Amino acid sequence: MQTSLKSIEEQRAEALRQTEFIAETRSYVLELEQTLGRPLKSNVTTFGCQMNARDSEKIRGIFAAAGFQNTDNEDEADFVIYNTCTVRENADQHVYGRLGHLNSVKKKKKDMVIGLCGCMMQEKHIVEKIKKSYSFVDLIFGTHNLYEFPELLLKTIREKKRIIEILDSTPYLPESLPVSRKYPFKSGVNIMYGCNNFCTYCIVPYVRGREISRRPEEILQEVRNLVSDGVVEIMLLGQNVNSYGKTFEEPYSFAKLLREVCKVPGLRRVRFMTSHPKDLSDELIEAMAENPLVCRHLHLPVQAGSDRLLKKMNRHYDLAHYMELVKKLREAMPDISLTTDIIVGFPGETEEDFEGTLRLVREVGYDSAFTFIYSKRTGTPAASMPDQVPDEVAHARFDRLLATIKETAEEQCARFEGQVHDVLVEELNKEPGLVTGRIGHNLVVHLPGDASMIGKIVPVRLRECRGFYYLGEVAF
Ligand code: 5AD
Ligand code: SF4
């Protein structure tokens, strides 16, 4: 079904309608619990990126509001949801593997309900395969109708028949739904959905649809609400945050939004993800530099160190432009941490192209990088390009790339050794007596401490650099 985004009034009315479904589900769940003599449990597994992680927090929030108890053990759950990713082939395979396991659990627990949602479900051939070969899946919905999960949840548990609901675009945004945050002290905030870029290797524009930016006043209200609920760190989320607001009748820039977010009283740290080099403006670099709340870290995916490949990837920048951005960023914020995404083995990649990538990594001196072996995605232009790189060549290059990134990461990490930095303590370490947190530059620090420190920002001396992370201690 082809749909387009509804008006603000219609959005509000739909949100109310869904809230009513939550209330109805809650009564039904109570009834079921009385019959069974035990609570109903739910479990949500996230595959993929930060956007999916945020969507899962909404799914968990709806389960909780509808009376389900969260469990970390999917085998004991009454309702299991996999929020899937399809950016690379191995993400798909991972889901199929886990489904095989769930099938064996469900054979012994026939009332178990299994739901699938997220990016994989927007691909027709995948839904066909699940319908045919995974008949034990009870609910399938996509990226465009998360807003109606309360309604789908009730239908699935009441009607006990398979429900498949997938849309081609977003009529209602999944805002105003209850949220169960993973961390009480930090949160993602969606500022936009979808992507208009059509990089030739990437499936995201096909499964997440066209860019839709949320109104700035709604985003700011959400940030204020989160801060009053104890959040100190916000991550503004979008596939390409640098093109935020460009589709409004009166365009509104991401830099302006960032400045407004920084004014929210009580907020201590702001991060954002992901930036596209073609849209990174001077205004944004200024807004970052003038606001100490903005973490000194930028994730700036480069994808490849060869102009020829960047062109074939449809990235709309060349290496000279990318290096100019790096220079401007370092001039404005000399200690900034830079991280990136790199694809190895894109169709037609030669040894010379790949050596360009290694040179670029050394030249920029990344703090870290997410590296991926190119994965052919059905329906993308790159899938039918000639000269697909043989697996063994791609793997050998991948290993060389990892070794080079390890070198630059170690060099970069060492630059703060001995300094005192603010650390947001996030969790207890597996090692007793230690806690783990992050500095603004996003580097991980382990330090002596206890649960009372979780969620607090404390000054920490970065005593020893261990390659990718630090050992530190609270500095008094
Ligand atoms: N193969 C390998 N990596 C990919 N990415 C996106 N699509 C593919 C693909 N087909 C990587 C890009 C992107 C990150 C989120 O995933 O590097 O920045
Ligand atoms: Fe995919 Fe490119 Fe959009 Fe990122 S910018 S989501 S890589 S199409």
pLDDT one-digit tens code per residue, 291-309: 999 999 999 999 999 999 9
Which residues is 165 bridged to in the sheet? Answer: 141
In angstroms, rounded to a whole number, what is the distance separating the alpha carbons of residues 295 and 339? 13
| Sheet architecture: strand order including 337-344 | 297-299, 337-344, 368-373
Substitution candidate for ligand 1 out of 51, 88, 374 with most atoms within 8 A of CB = 88
For 201-232, write each residue's pLDDT tens digit. 999 999 999 999 999 999 999 999 999 999 99
Q: Is the pLDDT confidence value at 177 over 50? A: yes
- Confidence band of 2 (pLDDT split at 50, 70, 90): very low
Residue 186, amino acid: K
Q: How far is the CA of 202 from the centre of ligand 2 (A)?
A: 6
pLDDT of 369 strictly over 80: yes
Element (H, E) at 287: helix 282-290
**pTM of the full predicted structure?**
0.95
199 C-beta closer than 6 A to ligand 2: yes
**Dist. CA 197 → ligand 2 center (Å):** 6
Across the range 52-76, mean pLDDT stands at 97
Residue 274 CA, ligand 2 centroid: distance in Å: 9
State which ligand 1 atom lies nearest to the alpha carbon of 382: 10
pLDDT at 476: 78
Q: What is the DSSP letter of 436?
A: E
> Is the predicted pLDDT of residue 166 greater than 90, yes or no?
yes
How much is the average pLDDT of 414-427? 96
Residue 464 has pLDDT above 70, yes or no: yes
Q: How far is the CA of 30 from the centre of ligand 1 (A)?
A: 44
Q: Are 47 and 88 in contact (CB under 8 A)?
A: no
Q: What is residue 87's three-state secondary structure?
A: coil
CA-closest residue to ligand 1 atom 9: 375
Tallying the residues shown for the chain, one arrives at: 476
Residue 433 C-alpha to ligand 1 middle, in angstroms?
38
Closest-lying ligand 1 atom to the alpha carbon of residue 380: 10
How far apart are the C-alpha atoms of 157 and 155, rounded to whole Å? 6
Number of alpha helices (DSSP H) and beta strands (DSSP E) in the chain: 13, 19
| Nearest in space to 65 (alpha carbons), one of 169, 151, 166, 178 | 178
What's the CA gap between 129 and 272, in Å, rounded?
36
Q: Atom 17 (ligand 1): residue with closest C-alpha? A: 341
Which residues have any ligand 1 atom within 6 Å of their CB?
87-88, 201-202, 301, 303, 341, 343, 372, 374-375, 377
Q: Tokens for 110, please give them.
A: 């026939």
Q: 137-151 in b/e burial notation, b at 16+ Cβ within 10 A?
A: bbbbbbbbbbbbbbb
φ/ψ of 32, rounded to 5, equals: -60, -40
Average pLDDT over the chain, rounded to whole?
A: 96
Give the position, in ligand 1's atom list, of the atom nearest the Cα of 301.
18
Contact in structure between 66 and 25 (CB atoms under 8 Å): yes
Which ligand ends up closest to the CA of 49?
A: 1
Between the alpha carbon of residue 413 and those of residues 280, 347, 363, the distances in Å are 25, 33, 16
| 382-391 confidence digits (pLDDT tens) | 999 999 999 9
Residue 467: is its pLDDT beyond 90? no
Question: 351 versus 5: which is more confidently predicted?
Answer: 351
Protein residue closest via CA to atom 1 of ligand 2? 202
Q: Is 119 in the pocket of ligand 2 (CB under 6 A)?
A: no
How confident is residue 4, by pLDDT bands cut at 50, 70 and 90?
A: confident
Tokens 């907020």, located at residue: 267
Alpha-carbon gap, residue 324 to 309, rounded angstroms: 19
Q: How confident is the model at residue 247 (pLDDT cuts 50, 70, 90)?
A: confident
| Residues whose CB is less than 8 angstroms from the CB of residue 163 and which lie 6 or more positions away in sequence, other chains included | 138, 139, 140, 141, 152, 155, 156
Among all ligands shown, which has an atom nearest to the Cα of 48?
1
Region 271-285 average pLDDT: 97
Among 122, 201, 202, 203, residue to substitute to test ligand 2 (most atoms within 8 Å of Cβ): 202
The Cβ of residue 23 has, within 10 Å, a number of other Cβ atoms equal to 12
Q: Percent of the chain, pLDDT > 90?
A: 96
Best substitution site from 203, 204, 315, 340 to test ligand 2's pocket, by max atoms within 8 Å of Cβ?
204
In this structure, how many other beta carbons lie within 10 angstroms of the beta carbon of residue 342? 21
Give the model confidence (pLDDT) of 98-107 as tens digits.
999 999 999 9
SS3 403: helix
Are 198 and 313 within 8 A, CB to CB?
no
Q: Is the pLDDT of residue 243 over 60?
A: yes
Question: How many CA atoms does the CB half-sphere of 430 hold within 13 Å?
Answer: 0
Say how many Å lie between the CA of residue 269 and the centre of ligand 2.
26
In 211-350, alpha helices (H): 216-228, 254-262, 282-290, 307-312, 319-332
Q: What was the pLDDT predicted at 1?
A: 39
Please report the sign of the dihedral spanned by the C-alpha atoms of residue 470, residue 471, residue 474, residue 476: negative
Residue 289 pLDDT more than 60?
Answer: yes
Residues 6+ apart with CB under 8 A from 308: 348, 353
Compute the distance between CA of residue 345 and CA of residue 353 in angstroms, rounded to an integer.
10
- 20-36: pLDDT as tens digits: 999 999 999 999 999 99
